[in-house]
Structure 1
Amino acid sequence: MPDAQQLLLFMAAGLLLNLTPGPDVLYIVTQSLRSGARAGMVAALGINAGCLVHIVAAALGVGALLAASATAFTLLKWAGAAYLLWMGVRLLLARAPRQVADLRALAGAQPRADLWAVFRGGFLTNVLNPKVAVFFLAFVPQFIAPEAAHPARAFLLLGALFNVNSVAVNVGWALAAAWMARHDAVQRGMQGLDRIAGAMFIVFGARLALADNPSR
């Protein structure tokens, strides 16, 4: 494991990286705006579960395969891009939400979401993005000493720490979006927000489809 100074640097870098908006953050915010804080936090847990898959895979060498094999990277890249594009189109075609008055008539509750579907969506958003696997391969080893006795174990521990830190950031995004959704102006503009989110998912999907393997 790195020393205390390196560990603090690792945590600070991870925090900044987690604050950077991307498909994961967009998915969390969209779920919170549409269905409330609980759905947003479940989405965050799905994202973090996907990160765990990448961390374990990278420690076992699967991430190295994705980084080295153009075919493996491309297959996962296209699957992830197709999923992001599908979510974007679904948001663009979504029906208009209830009016604010109708929502208040339901005791102020937001539309209930299928939490398992929300979790699964977050999981797939993350796990189908091969750039996450390559990111862990490029980022985490910088904080592992070359002479480490058990580099795979150190990789797992640092990856787990990164993931635990990201939970707080992702939940923060969920709570912030849920707070925004309680305001009338946001509720009135929900359909427009769906369209914006849908367009952004399509942009992220297109960027992923066109991306080269960052390890090359």
Structure 2
Amino acid sequence: MDAHLLAAFAVATFLLNVAPGPDLLFIITNGVAGGRRAGFLAALGVSTGLVVHSVAAAFGLGFLIARAPEALTVVRIAGAVVLLYLAYTTWKGSRVALDVAEVPQRSLRRVYFMAALTNLANPKVILFYLAFVPQFITKGDQAWPVTAQMLVLGLMFIVTGLMVDGPAGLLSGHLSERIARRPGFRTWMERVSAGVFAVLAARLVQETTTTR
């Protein structure tokens, strides 16, 4: 795998993970309601959901591309459309005030499973994996199998996410107060995330055009 692509992927996923979204909000609200252990278990639950998404995307998409290489072009075009849509909705969402609502006290096991199910039930996560990951796949005779590359990239995304979500769960009280007091912080991070989506969509379109 190309080291430069891996570095770019790591930076992009870090920026996307630090932007407050449904998963991070779920982690913060449970951390505020149930303490540090609840917040950290919520982060682990989200990561568990991402493991399932990663494996499903790797084997499903890898199987398709291995037997029909031109499918990667189709996926990239569809991915560009999805990324542009996510850029638009993320930018639009940055104008909406973040409401860290109270959630009822739950058992730690329930918090974990609810976090995993919340992530698994989010269709945007599925679309994100299919749109974002394939553009970092290396092609050529010396390249790793597509499935292996997607599993590595999925693992990187999960680890990067846990590096953000874990501390957010442990420090959820402090973070929630900071975000609530400074709505401009969330707005700025959401707009950075929207910009990342837009740049990646443009890169997908450019690569698809030059490889034809």
Q: How many residues align?
A: 140
Q: From the superposition, tell whether residues 157 and 30 of structure 1 become closer, same or farther in structure 2 (CA, over 3 Å).
A: same
User: Identity over the aligned pairs, expressed in percent?
Assistant: 41
Distance 2:36 2:173 in 1: 5
Q: Does 1:125 align with 2:106?
A: no
For residues 6-61 of structure 1, the C-alpha deviation after alignment (integer angstroms, 9 at most, x for no partner) is 21111000001111111101100000110111100000000000011111110121
Correspondence for 1:170: 165
Distance 1:119 1:160 in 2: 20
Contact kept, 8 Å, 2:31 with 2:169, in 1: the verdict is yes
Contact kept, 8 Å, 1:55 with 1:133, in 2: the verdict is no
Q: From the superposition, tell whether residues 54 and 180 of structure 1 become closer, same or farther in structure 2 (CA, over 3 Å).
A: closer
Q: CA deviation at 1:116?
A: 0.7
Q: From the superposition, tell whether residues 135 and 173 of structure 1 become closer, same or farther in structure 2 (CA, over 3 Å).
A: same
For residues 63-103 of structure 1, the C-alpha deviation after alignment (integer angstroms, 9 at most, x for no partner) is 98xx9xxxxxxxxxxxxxxxxxxxxxxx78x78xxxxxxxx
For residues 111-161 of structure 1, the C-alpha deviation after alignment (integer angstroms, 9 at most, x for no partner) is 6x4111000110011001121111111111111112234011110011111
Q: Does 1:34 align with 2:33?
A: yes
Q: Which amino acid aligns with 2:145?
A: H
> Gapped runs of 5+ residues in structure 1?
68-90, 96-110, 187-192, 194-216
Structure 2 counterparts to residues 61-140 of structure 1, below 5 A:
61=60, 113-140=106-133
Contact kept, 8 Å, 2:168 with 2:175, in 1: the verdict is no
Q: Which amino acid aligns with 1:24?
A: D
Structure possessing the higher radius of gyration over alpha carbons:
1
Distance 1:180 1:136 in 2: 27
Correspondence for 1:146: 139
> Gapped runs of 5+ residues in structure 2?
65-74, 76-100, 181-212
Q: 4+ residue stretches of structure 1 with deviation over 4 A?
A: none
Contact kept, 8 Å, 2:47 with 2:162, in 1: the verdict is yes
Contact kept, 8 Å, 1:24 with 1:126, in 2: the verdict is yes
3-state SS, counterpart of residue 61 of structure 1: helix
3-state SS, counterpart of residue 132 of structure 1: helix
Q: Does 1:2 align with 2:12?
A: no
Q: From the superposition, tell whether residues 180 and 9 of structure 1 become closer, same or farther in structure 2 (CA, over 3 Å).
A: closer
The RMSD of aligned alpha carbons is 2.5
* Structure 2 residue corresponding to 1:157, chosen from 140, 152, 175: 152
3-state SS, counterpart of residue 146 of structure 1: coil
Q: From the superposition, tell whether residues 60 and 43 of structure 1 become closer, same or farther in structure 2 (CA, over 3 Å).
A: same
Superposition TM-score, scaled by structure 1 size: 0.59
Q: CA deviation at 1:180?
A: 5.9
Q: From the superposition, tell whether residues 180 and 132 of structure 1 become closer, same or farther in structure 2 (CA, over 3 Å).
A: closer
Contact kept, 8 Å, 1:33 with 1:180, in 2: the verdict is no
